[in-house]
Structure 1
């Protein structure tokens, strides 16, 4: 095993010197073996919460699991007594919690073998071959996978999340159990599903993660709007797509350059409206999806509500889906580019361009084209120009001061005229030039 940091060894010794056992467990051990950063240090011990608090007077706990939180410098340690659990009638929380006598009993209740390793710097407890499975890069349930998933259905999506984050595969027996028990995910709150799903989208392998959800039957409960898209063909005369809609969405996500979970979310669902707008001409065999972005926008609103997204997340998701079907042409006017920027919003421009990049490659097209590169250049150039009267380098106060007039409709009319001249490139948007133009209105 690898060496623990000095501050962790010191913390462990503070327990051992009082005669208690204590081990680092869970994700901390897993990440230690994978040489990944450790955000949270979790420990398990044979000391009771009261005994832990006696060692650390500034510690506190207020939960049914006996977890004691100990602030240390800028780090927080969470220490939980060995425990064993009874039945889970709600598929999420144990009906009863009892303290266990050994660390082995504690490890037996954990979800996956990669999280069921205990280590104290000297002794390594690994009864389920978690270290071996880390080397083999596989996700394996502890003991009977059916029992593990029925105990806590959140483990269904957590297993996929770990595979997505770590780039692991899911072991066959565990994978089959995921499929058998997939309907249990309906017992989990949407807040918990959302948190896990956004972690999948924010991982290093988001498209593989969503594909795992599809292949394990979880996606039809989490995002049925995407699941149904695998049944919608796109390949037809005069169409550039080579995939069905579902596969296209997965491939778009795979090639989206953004690492932002909401941008990736929008990329994943940008074409879900095609399932509702699919039409195939029986004579020409031409497939069309007229106004699919409109249908998709309504669906995106429903998804945002179901996932309990924040107002900011909801706004971004819907905006990207609503306006993803923009035209890229060498003949596009500055006015059309300005309208595009206004519709999308300056704050979401790069996200939209990232979505389009994923969309292009996910359709089987080349990563870019001269038209697309020209469009991006135009977007940059047009942004340097004013978009509304408010972007002019002078305002109503300047007009009143120069023309010696009081507040009136005339001020707005003058600013509108100056704005039109700037947009038409008859004059520059410079303060001294605009002030000079005001003389014409005296």
Structure 2
């Protein structure tokens, strides 16, 4: 049995008393299983939105996805408990949101629409519902799509970068079939707004495993779409007589990120691309075998401005990014 706070259990009991099923779900359950501190409490229920609002008159509902927000106060801390009616989804014409949403009868139907097995686990306060063996994947540190990964990524292309973000945050490996699908569907990232890409990318940079996250992006074929300037640096040699470099430019940049002590996303981003101008300025003397990158910092500054605009950085962020 997973341990949940009394105030959360009491909240769930109000649904049970009204004759409804309710479960903790998604990242909340994953966090409980992994013994992480949980601050976001997400629920799924058999109750329809209007039934939820009858139980909690102070709740609010202003979306098409069946999610009701319920303000909760506990020991001086304010929470918004998000409670979503069991639902099924279909037809994702914009590769982001479903065109058709229907209420589902069971929690198992609701879990079938979720992205990854580690997020497709529900808990009713006494029993875990885990139809896709997410607990096994958590134990083995594996990120795996629910069902057919091609279908999951074509439903919502943001899942492409979310997969890598969650893997880098949790220190998980990506299951081979899921990784293969990431590669084959990587072009769908072009359907996602740059603001959403930036937000997920920054979460990768500030995760516990940012270097691995960037390498996941590269190996999944996504880096070529969102940061081609960096992607092209892999394979650009730096090793030559009297030079200390042991890595190619791309690997050097990833290793620089790995050893950067900052948790500021702009500082981390600047660290990751600080030598990105070397691709365009590469030159090798065939007689001496010496490699040079004259004026790479000038070219790098121009590329940094281009990247800042693409990632929709604020003026303040851009100035810091380019200066660093």
Q: TM-score, normalised by structure 1?
A: 0.71
| Correspondence for 2:38 | 38
- Separation in 2 of the partners of 1:255 and 1:226? 18
| 1:225 pairs with 2:250 | no
Q: CA deviation at 1:35?
A: 1.2
Kindly state the Cα deviation for residue 312 of structure 1 after the two structures are TM-superposed: 2.4
Partner of 1:52: 52
Question: Which of 182, 189, 193 is matched with 1:185 structurally?
Answer: 189
Q: Distance in 1 between matches of 2:314 and 2:81?
A: 29
Match of 2:307 in 1: 303
Could you tell me how far 1:168 is from its partner in structure 2? 0.6
Equivalent of residue 264 in structure 1, options 264, 268, 271: 268
CA distance, structure 2, for counterparts of residue 46 and residue 309 of structure 1 = 42
Task: Find the residue that maps to 1:148 and give its secondary structure.
Answer: helix
Deviates more, 1:278-287 or 1:12-21: 278-287
In 2, Cα distance between the equivalents of 1:19 and 1:176?
A: 44
Q: CA deviation at 1:313?
A: 1.8
Shift of 1:282: 2.1
Query: Deviation at 1:310?
Result: 2.1
- Corresponding position of 1:246: 250
Q: Note the 1:35-434 alignment, pairs <5 A.
A: 35-73=35-73, 74-320=78-324
**C-alpha displacement at 1:273, in angstroms?**
0.5
Equivalence for 1:365: none
Residue 311 of structure 1: CA displacement? 2.3
Q: Which structure has the highest strand share of the two?
A: 2
What residue number does 1:6 align with?
6
The C-alpha deviation readout for 1:14-47, integer Å capped at 9, x for no partner, is 0000000010001111111111122311100111
Separation in 2 of the partners of 1:61 and 1:314? 37
Deviation at 1:75, TM superposition (A): 1.0
Please report how far the alpha carbon of residue 259 of structure 1 lies from its aligned counterpart in structure 2 after TM superposition: 1.8
Structure 2: how far apart are the matches of 1:314 and 1:82? 43
The runs of 5 or more residues in structure 1 that have no matched partner are 321-442
Taking the aligned partners of 1:182 and 1:138, their CA distance within structure 2 comes to 20
The answer for the alignment partner of 2:25 in structure 1 is 25
SS in 1 for 2:198: helix
Report deviation, 1:124: 1.0
Aligned 8 A contact 2:2 2:126 in 1? no
Counterpart-to-counterpart distance in 1, 2:108 and 2:304: 46
**Which deviates more, 206-215 or 35-44?**
35-44
* Cα distance in 2 between the residues matched to 1:300 and 1:35: 40
Distance 1:310 1:98 in 2: 39
Instruction: Name segments (4+ residues, structure 1) moved above 4 Å.
Output: none
TM value normalised by structure 2: 0.97
Output the CA distance in 2 between the equivalents of 1:185 and 1:140. Answer: 19
1:55 CA displacement: 0.8
Distance across 1 between alignment mates of 2:288 and 2:252:
23
Q: Give CA-to-partner distance per residue, 1:276-330, whole Å, 9 cap, x none.
A: 111112222211111111111111111111111122222211110xxxxxxxxxx
Q: SS in structure 2 opposite 1:283?
A: coil
Residue aligned with 1:50, SS: helix
Contact 2:121-2:129 at 8 Å conserved across structures = yes
Range with bigger deviation, 275-284 or 11-20: 275-284
Bigger Rg, structure 1 or 2: 1
Cα distance in 2, alignment partners of residues 41 and 316 from structure 1: 36
